[in-house]
Amino acid sequence: MQIATFNINGVKARIETVLNWLDAANPDVALLQEIKSEDASFPRAPFEDRGYNLETHGQKGFNGVAILSKYPLEDVTRGLPGDDSDEQARWIEATVVGKRAVRLCGLYLPNGNPAPGPKYDYKLAWMERLEARARDLLAAEEPAVMAGDYNVIPQDEDAARPEAWKDDALALPQTRAAFRRIVNLGFTEAFRARTQGGGHYSFWDYQRGAWNRNDGIRIDHLLLTPQAADLMTDCRIEAELRGGEKPSDHVPVWLTLDA
């Protein structure tokens, strides 16, 4: 099973970019972030015409997550548990059954800037809720993947210029500690299980020629339960996708499971 996570930065603004990518790459499952579209106005037809089952959790102009799957999507839920008052569309999960069932969770974790402040408080509270959901996924003892734009730079080697991010919400000690607490519950960080060292990025700012200078950061991650990690055969960043007329500021990260 080929799974890709991709922050597309607006489905309507970049629909041709996304459709061209799907035609060329043909993932079995794609977890999308920042669709920036309400569910009712999401352009479903081009995706369904390509054989994808589609589930969205969107809101107007901001955030929003989606799952595309060549396999049926079962037991779909929307919204991260733990705060019924949270109206931001940042979490969707479903079970995908290929050779075996895998629970897939697509997430768009809050940015948190400016920090300190209410937005950073929301980020840390959201990560506490994520940790609680992660514990439940582990307790189920089934293959599960939490994938998406975490807005977390786990360590200095995940930034071309770590000093430029030291006061940013993506790299503050509290952010990194919250991320480590989740991983240390027993998850495998898929990319780092396959590739070590610096120079591997999934996001480049549109400003200041960051792409041309490879001034990037790695903030798109896939965390695997032990049962999913046992099925992993590869994980890679599709950095060569960046470019074209309307690129996203992110590129896809791919996971291959024997499932």
Which positions are annotated as active-site residues?
108, 149
How many angstroms separate the Cα of 212 from the Cα of each of 203, 205, 208, 215? Answer: 12, 10, 9, 8
Beta strands, E only, the chain: 2-7, 29-33, 53-59, 62-69, 73-78, 91-97, 101-108, 144-149, 188-189, 203-204, 216-217, 220-224, 232-237, 253-257
Contacts 24+ apart (CB under 8 A), 176-182: 176/152, 178/124, 178/127, 178/128, 178/131, 179/127, 179/150, 179/152, 179/154, 180/154, 181/131, 182/127, 182/130, 182/131, 182/134, 182/223
CA 189 from centre of chain: 12
